[in-house]
A and B are shown apart, each in its own frame.
Chain A
């Protein structure tokens, strides 16, 4: 296929054309690239960046009601777990009809993004099998609840799979990639890339994520085949090594193994250079989350500019650990939120530098929220225990930012009442302030997936439990200009 005809196909604009291309292209675009001198830029680029806050983020301290601060203060101040009202970074989400809230003081950069309409909060989201409208629903044995509530590994799994009813071995990131694989043409490069190891989120039925180290390793050092040099013996061995990889292709398992190694060698060739970010918005940031987001940014840049890539969709997974704050929460949260806020801000600025301001959306996931009632007391030791519903951050130019989103709970608001125990309007499962989620992981994820281009028809495949929930688009994404690829 010539360069021109490829361009022609792409210029048709619709994804039906892309699908046609994908089906007709038997060779990977990698091999086509040898004949193409100039890079193919993505034509309809979008990226999702999952930021997993591992351990269970206590968002009770991330988003604090200022109007009605007393309920929060009453629960937490005595034990030393409350953020003083004066330190909170004030926000007034239109959805909350004049009520004032505050972000944690270390989220200064995110507060700035909020002001620019590039950051939103999704309130009280969590793992659900079916809607639970009240404490009575939760206590009703006949109503389905997620398996192993309050358990790290299980709740992490559900956040990544969106399947609160059963354990499955594919994540919703991976299933999105399965559905949209055609959009990336024949490029032999995985849509999902984890910068935090192999994980469930990015695993699909037919999609295998790529896992790469953070920016501490230059991209051109990630896939390097060792042990060959320019000696005649080495050249001969390398030639045989490469030739053997193409043999016995009639044996499907042998071929699958060979293809996987071939993919590594092809990616190694693509990662021939390490993109330089200019300006480098990550300068001075050396936290793990910053290095992971920087590596993701570099790969986005490489994809944009490099011959042989040019994917139209990418999914990234990064992770920040340390949120299991049973103790020392005040100090730990300062460090965690500071790192998170700075890294997400640098990443967002970098996307703007790339011309991708409204093309890339980052969003948080976490095991669960934490009890409003503190565990222990005293600023050096006080913390909180495993709970359930949790607020999430969504960041990027395509976000309808500066607002709260969600579903009304028992108190008639998208933001939960902070009343603990069996009282009117409570979301508490018991007496410690474990909020029954108003928003299911499925709804949160589906809103992102819709922006990413998943068709209505494919929503049920990607999110099998979504149909149980009334609202399937929470509205926090700006869908203007979104294409729903027809090839999926």
Chain B
């Protein structure tokens, strides 16, 4: 048990005259000197949102507070706060203030105090802690100290309450000590205790174990007993709660169990959550914990794409076709290099991996918008919102100018509404064409699958999205792709619009109102969770998730545990820590996904410690010419349908989906093998004689791209390749298995690799006749066989 953990029920810790209940007059400051102390106890609750004026209308909801308004909110009875509570401890948050001001929280029915609870300036989100006595009927009042006409949204989160230290007290529970486990050990005995004041008379005690936080897949052998065994399906950090009730009141205590993943699971996890485990990384992450790694990645600084100065749409004189200037300003070359460099070496691996997935959903193609200065703002939207809220992402991507250009919203006007963006945001970016259950399965009726929308709704969204165009030009008439699109009110259709689920937007509203409400209408659709969640699972973990897995991700999308919908962090945690992705889940034969060319290439290079051709620096990321012949020119998908169809079936796989198989043809499959041959065996043009490489090209005027080339970290593997004295290549095979196949290499495959390696005598180099030596050639052969194997093409 962590003694510093504050989420604790029990009077022992806080019971004292900590809080002074009673009448608080506005001028009674300081209050402590003037009121009669009453002994009370502080009781924490799981942080719980009691008021949110942003959601819906209602007693504890919207609308936003207006300047000068006083509004009462009932807290008692919510969030585990009993009606007998004397005061509540709140976290007060203000969102979207339209002007500077303050909000005061005080007991309902009491005079307003002078001291504000939180102060803010326009547009800023601010939060503060506040303790407010419960007033009439357990309510608190909120006063909005803003100019008339200004508004602010208010959120009140309850973190605890004070109650008189008399009468029946909740049982004081001790769940037991925090614990840790290392997979494959995955079970633990728990033994909780409690004490109580023996009230009420004849109290009947019941106990219940539950999971407060942590991945799914926890089971208790006796969840209603103080003593139980608990079993974890997946690695992670879990908070387990023991609740004891005396039939009137209940108390609880929590403990933390950290379940360390198996080395294999950590390697697999890093393949899913990053661009592949780099040498040595898995050991660190295993100690750290998968959840902790994810949280650390959420905070990691973004590598991303550097903002670029605007450039004219047509190359000016002196920057003509077939010049380095043209290549750098008018082709996707620089951003493609940046993508690979980030993927290979960026520390924000999770953000880049998720942003890559988002790019494949919210497609803008460099085929249509090739200029780096125009594509970069789009890529930055994806990076910025990867760990934000899906609604914010929808909003930013909708007004992104490259998207506006790609799908024609930038020219959509009242008189010529364009259906392209409205159609794709529905079909591809958010809900899909068919109504789905939370588990992703399609809803059908007697006419077959139930459509999510029809032409009338496409028309409605088309009208709602009219009127937006390029932000004002830069000097010299340079079109503005940096700033979001802006509204030209005269071009907005102000008639009524039909949206999803029968919602209509009334006539006569502004373009901004229509846009925001139309996006809210999409965001609130129950299809978003299963549709988007399923796609994210397919891109990060497995092509064929079970409905239950999809449902768990949908629930995380719908509610992050704190009542927030669309929290990307919650969705990402749910995708990556699900029992189907962790532990023994991946043993299912249908598990896995084909590595697409870009991810296949980068995972190979990361696992093998790739650097520049001379081994002295990071490779510079000029790799698109390698993946392009394999069917994937990065950041240049052929259409808004992305690089491959999301519903493509893997050929001959009994109906299993394999989207990435859409670009695996006989040609590209052979291309992969031939690329590996070059990567592992090419020595032509390499700067170091005994280091095979993808040859560098350092001529700065070379229009095909400058590159410092690529070489693998062969050196760390050569010592494992056996020797003439001890010729067994098993250590090398083990290491390749671990680095590339998460340790899943079958005995049969191991035997084949060993046969090939044993055909090479493990000699040391003897130049000039044998520059590399047999040990080195064993490493080459081993890498060749694993990188070309379907067992590596399919990540599982």
* Interface, chain A (partner B; CB < 8 A): 147-148, 153, 157, 167, 169, 190, 198, 205-206, 208-212, 223-227, 232-233, 235-237, 239-241, 243-245, 247-248, 250-261, 263-265, 267-268
Task: From the candidates B658, B681, B777, name the one contacting A227 in the complex (CB within 8 A).
Answer: B681
Known: A223-B670, A251-B794. 20 other contacts (CB 8 A): A148-B420, A169-B645, A198-B663, A225-B674, A227-B681, A233-B781, A237-B781, A237-B785, A244-B791, A247-B748, A248-B749, A248-B790, A252-B589, A252-B653, A253-B593, A255-B790, A256-B661, A257-B669, A261-B788, A263-B666
Cα distance A193–B565 in the bound complex, in angstroms = 47
In the A-B complex, the 9 residue pairs with the closest CB atoms: A236-B759, A227-B677, A257-B790, A264-B666, A252-B653, A264-B670, A240-B756, A240-B752, A258-B790
Nearest-neighbour CB distance to chain B for A241, whole angstroms, equals: 6
Task: Report which of A157, A224, A248, A263 forms a contact with B746, defined as CB distance below 8 A.
Answer: A248
Q: Are B639 and A153 in contact (CB under 8 A)?
A: yes
Q: Which of the residues A147, A206, A247 comes within 8 Å of B752, measured between beta carbons?
A: A247
User: B63 to nearest A CB, angstroms?
Assistant: 37
B175 CB within 8 Å of chain A: no
Interchain CB contact under 8 A, B666 and A206: no
- A254, B670: Cβ atoms under 8 Å? no
> How many angstroms between the C-alpha atoms of A171 and B654 in the bound complex?
22
8 A Cβ contacts from B706-748 to A: 746, 748
**B663 contacts A256, C-beta separation under 8 Å:** no
- Chain B CB within 10 A, most for which of A206, A223, A244: A244
Contacts of B759 in A (CB 8 A): 232-233, 235-237
Tell which of A157, A167, A252 touches B590, judged by Cβ atoms closer than 8 Å.
A252
Within 8 A of A (CB), among B601-650: 631, 639, 641, 645, 647-650
Q: How far is the CA of A206 from the CA of B655 in the complex (A)?
A: 10
Q: What is the 8 Å Cβ interface bit string for chain B, positions 748-783, against chain A (1 contact, 0 not)?
A: 110011011011100000000000000001000100
Return chain A residues, CB-CB under 8 Å to B592. Answer: 251, 253-254
Q: CA–CA, A160 to B746, complex, Å?
A: 44
B656 within 8 A of A: yes
Contact (Cβ within 8 A) B652 A256: yes
28 contacts between A and B (CB under 8 A): A148-B419, A148-B420, A167-B641, A169-B647, A198-B631, A209-B665, A226-B677, A233-B760, A233-B781, A237-B781, A240-B756, A240-B785, A244-B789, A245-B789, A247-B752, A250-B589, A252-B653, A254-B793, A255-B653, A256-B594, A256-B652, A257-B794, A259-B651, A259-B652, A260-B664, A260-B666, A260-B669, A265-B670
CA distance A253 to B656 in the complex (A): 8
A237 touches B666 (CB 8 A): no
B796 at the interface (CB under 8 A from A): yes
Which chain B residues border A268 with CB–CB below 8 Å? 670
Contact residues in A for B791 (Cβ distance below 8 Å): 244, 247-248, 254
* Chain A hits for B670, CB < 8 A: 223, 225, 261, 264-265, 268
Q: Within the complex, which residue of B590, B667, B758 is in contact with A211, where a contact is CB–CB below 8 Å? A: B667
Check B674 against A223 for contact (C-beta < 8 Å): no
Known: A148-B420, A244-B785. A260 touches B673 (CB 8 A): no
Looking across the interface, which residue of chain A has its beta carbon closest to that of B744? Answer: A248
Q: A237-B759, A247-B749 are in contact. Are A264 and B667 (CB under 8 A)?
A: yes
Q: Which residues of B contact A240 (CB under 8 A)?
A: 752-753, 755-756, 785
In the assembled complex, the Cα of A239 lies from the Cα of B759 at a distance in Å of 11
| Nearest-Cβ distance from residue B475 to partner chain A, whole angstroms | 29
Say whether, besides A244-B752, A247-B752, A261-B790, A256 and B650 are in contact (CB < 8 Å). Answer: yes
| Contact assessment for B648 and A253 in the assembled complex, using a CB-CB cutoff below 8 Å | no
- Give the nearest-CB partner of A199 in chain B: B638
Does B423 count as interface, using CB distance less than 8 angstroms? yes
Decide yes or no: A260 and B656 within 8 Å by CB, A208-B651, A240-B756, A248-B746 being known contacts. Answer: no
Quote the shortest CB–CB distance from A404 to chain B (angstroms).
34
B398 within 8 A of partner (CB): no
- Verify B663–A252 contact, CB threshold 8 A: no
Q: What residue in chain B is nearest A251 (Cβ atoms)?
A: B589
Task: Annotate B674-710 by CB proximity to A: 1 below 8 A, 0 otherwise.
Answer: 1001100100000000000000000000000000000
Most buried by B among A224, A232, A235, A254: A254
Q: Is residue B534 within 8 Å, beta carbon to beta carbon, of the partner chain?
A: no
User: Does A257 contact B666, Cβ atoms closer than 8 Å?
Assistant: no
Q: Across the interface, name the chain A residue whose C-beta is closest to B781.
A: A237
Question: Is B543 an interface position by the 8 A CB rule?
Answer: yes
Contact code string B522-564 (vs A, CB < 8 Å = 1, else 0): 0000000000000000000001000000000000000000000
Q: Is B784 an interface residue (CB 8 A)?
A: yes
- Residues on the A chain within 8 Å of B419, using CB: 147-148
CB <8 Å contact, B590 and A241: no
Q: Which chain B residues lie closer than 8 Å to A169 at the CB level?
A: 641, 645, 647-648
Residues in A with CB closer than 8 Å to B681 are 227
Contacts of B664 in A (CB 8 A): 257, 260
A225-B673 contact given A198-B665, A240-B753, A256-B661, CB 8 Å threshold: yes
Contacting residue for A253 out of B639, B785, B794, CB 8 A = B794
> Which residues of the partner chain A approach B674 to less than 8 Å between Cβ atoms?
224-227
Min CB distance A206 to B, Å, is: 7
Within 8 A of A (CB), among B433-489: none
Pick the most buried of A198, A261, A268: most chain B CB atoms within 10 A of its CB.
A261
Q: By the criterion CB–CB under 8 Å, are B667 and A210 in contact? A: yes
CB contacts (< 8 Å) of A247 on chain B: these are 746, 748-749, 752, 791
B497 CB → nearest A CB, Å? 16
In the assembled complex, the Cα of A237 lies from the Cα of B676 at a distance in Å of 14
Interface centre among B666, B678, B748, by most A CB within 10 Å?
B666
Chain A: minimal CB distance from B543 (Å): 7
Of A190, A251, A255, the contact of B796 (CB 8 Å cutoff): A251
Instruction: Report the bound CA distance from A150 to B752 in whole Å.
Output: 57
Q: Is the CB of B790 within 8 A of A252?
A: no
Which residues of the partner chain B approach A210 to less than 8 Å between Cβ atoms?
A: 665-667
| Least CB distance, B649 to chain A, in whole angstroms | 7
Report B774 CB to chain A, min CB distance, Å. Answer: 9
Q: A227-B681, A256-B658 are in contact. Are A212 and B669 (CB under 8 A)?
A: no
What residue in chain B is nearest A243 (Cβ atoms)? B752
Q: A206-B651, A233-B760, A253-B656 are in contact. Are A245 and B666 (CB under 8 A)?
A: no
Q: Which residues of A contact B653 (CB under 8 A)?
A: 252-253, 255-256
Determine the chain A residues whose CB is within 8 A of the CB of B666 once the complex forms. Answer: 190, 210, 223, 260-261, 263-264, 267
Residues in B neighbouring A237, C-beta threshold 8 A: 756, 759, 781, 784-785
Q: Nearest residue in B to A263 (C-beta to C-beta)?
A: B666
Q: Which residue of B lies closest to A261 (CB)?
A: B669
Can you name the residue of chain A whose Cβ is closest to the Cβ of B544?
A253
For B459, the closest partner residue in chain A by CB is: A141
Specify which chain A residues have a CB less than 8 angstroms from the CB of B672 in the assembled complex: 261
Min distance, Cβ A157 to any Cβ of chain B, angstroms: 8
Residues of A within 8 Å of B678, CB to CB, are 226
**Residues 51-87 of chain B, each 1 if its beta carbon lies under 8 Å from chain A, else 0:** 0000000000000000000000000000000000000
Are B794's CB and A254's CB within 8 A?
yes
The docked-state distance in angstroms from the alpha carbon of A312 to that of B269 is 48
**Which of B653, B748, B755 has the most A CB atoms < 10 Å from its CB?**
B653
Q: How far is the CA of A160 from the CA of B410 in the complex (A)?
A: 28
